[in-house]
Structure 1
Amino acid sequence: MENGDGHILVFCLNEERFALALDQVVRVLPSLAISPVPEAPEGISGVINVEGDVIAVIDLRSLFELPPGEQRIDDRIIVAQAGEWRIAVVVTEVVEVRRIKAEERVASERILPALRDCLGGVLKLDDGQILIYDLLRFVSQARPELLVTKVEMLAG
């Protein structure tokens, strides 16, 4: 969906709306316990265990400089595929799946240059905007292989 039509999964963090390309979303889960990982890379909250798979959890609140929040029982966890990496994000609410057209998207560099390393675009709407989060860009910056190595060392 990089520059064309597609579908997004819209979610909220606190009161802010964000989205992921639907083709990156693997599943949505209820809130799960997050296990901290010592010396995890910046932006990583810890890991979750989903049916035997240990998955890194990205802290979107800190990434987008939102007020920190305690994980709540009614939060949702979005598990997504970013290249070869399966990762998760904790969100306040999953809102909808939305079809978007290429002309509705604005390149993130034109609006929010400081976030170009993690945004794939911005959807401008009559009632505000939705930031379209690009997991692959973030993962390439966060170097999740370091986290995987730490998790394997702790498990071994």
Structure 2
Amino acid sequence: MQVVVFKVNEEQFAVETAKVQSINDMMEITKVPKSPDYIKGLINLRGNIISLLDINLLLDIEKGEGSQENIIILNLGDESVGVTVDQVDEVLEIDEKQIEKIETDRNKTYIKGVINFNDRIITLIDISKLIER
């Protein structure tokens, strides 16, 4: 299984590459009045209008000092959404056995487990469950 590893406020997370459509640099965001807080706005990616979500709010993580430089475009069924992240680190090939299931509270069902990889802990998230909440 391949995963894309990204950083949000010094924490490392991963999503399966099968869900990732593309990784882009930050671009102009059009704000949407009266939208929920977790929607940062809309972006125009090669003629496609895509909702941009604030992953800090979705994951309940404080914003870091630096600016978010990357947008990960994700495929969720027949829809694409973008999430802003501090930085995209790498693509890793992991074995399913490296994913440790963890007990989480009911509000964190989007956490598939943690990957203990070369002295780092990376949280593997199920992006579709994260957005469904």
TM-score (norm 2): 0.87
Give the structure 2 partner of residue 51 of structure 1: 46
> In the aligned structure 1, how far is the partner of 2:18 from the partner of 2:71?
16
Following TM superposition, the consecutive aligned residue runs of length 4 or more in structure 1 with deviations greater than 2 angstroms are 68-72, 118-121, 124-128, 138-141
Q: 1:36 aligns with which of 31, 51, 72?
A: 31
Matched, 1:131 2:123: yes
Q: What aligned pairs does 1:9-88 form with structure 2 within 5 A after superposition?
A: 9-69=4-64, 72=67, 75-88=69-82
Letter in 2 for 1:128: R
Matched, 1:91 2:91: no
Give the share of equivalent positions with the same residue, in percent: 27
**Aligned residues of 1:11 and 1:91 also touching (Cα < 8 A):** yes
**Aligned residues of 1:82 and 1:139 also touching (Cα < 8 A):** no
The number of equivalent residue pairs is 132
Alignment RMSD:
2.0
Letter in 1 for 2:124: I
| Structure showing the higher strand proportion among its residues | 2
Q: How far is the alpha carbon of 1:121 from its aligned partner?
A: 2.4
Q: How far is the alpha carbon of 1:8 from its aligned partner?
A: 0.1
> In the aligned structure 2, how far is the partner of 1:18 from the partner of 1:37?
27
Structure 1 residues 105 and 61, CA gap change in structure 2 (3 angstroms):
same
> In the aligned structure 2, how far is the partner of 1:9 from the partner of 1:90?
14
Structure 2: runs of 5 or more not aligned: none
Q: How far is the alpha carbon of 1:69 from its aligned partner?
A: 4.8
Q: How far is the alpha carbon of 1:9 from its aligned partner?
A: 0.3
Q: 1:115 aligns with which of 101, 108, 114?
A: 108
| Structure showing the higher helix proportion among its residues | 1
SS at match of 1:62: helix
Q: How far is the alpha carbon of 1:42 from its aligned partner?
A: 4.4
Larger Rg: 1
> In the aligned structure 2, how far is the partner of 1:91 from the partner of 1:67?
12
Letter in 1 for 2:18: D
Q: How far is the alpha carbon of 1:46 from its aligned partner?
A: 1.4
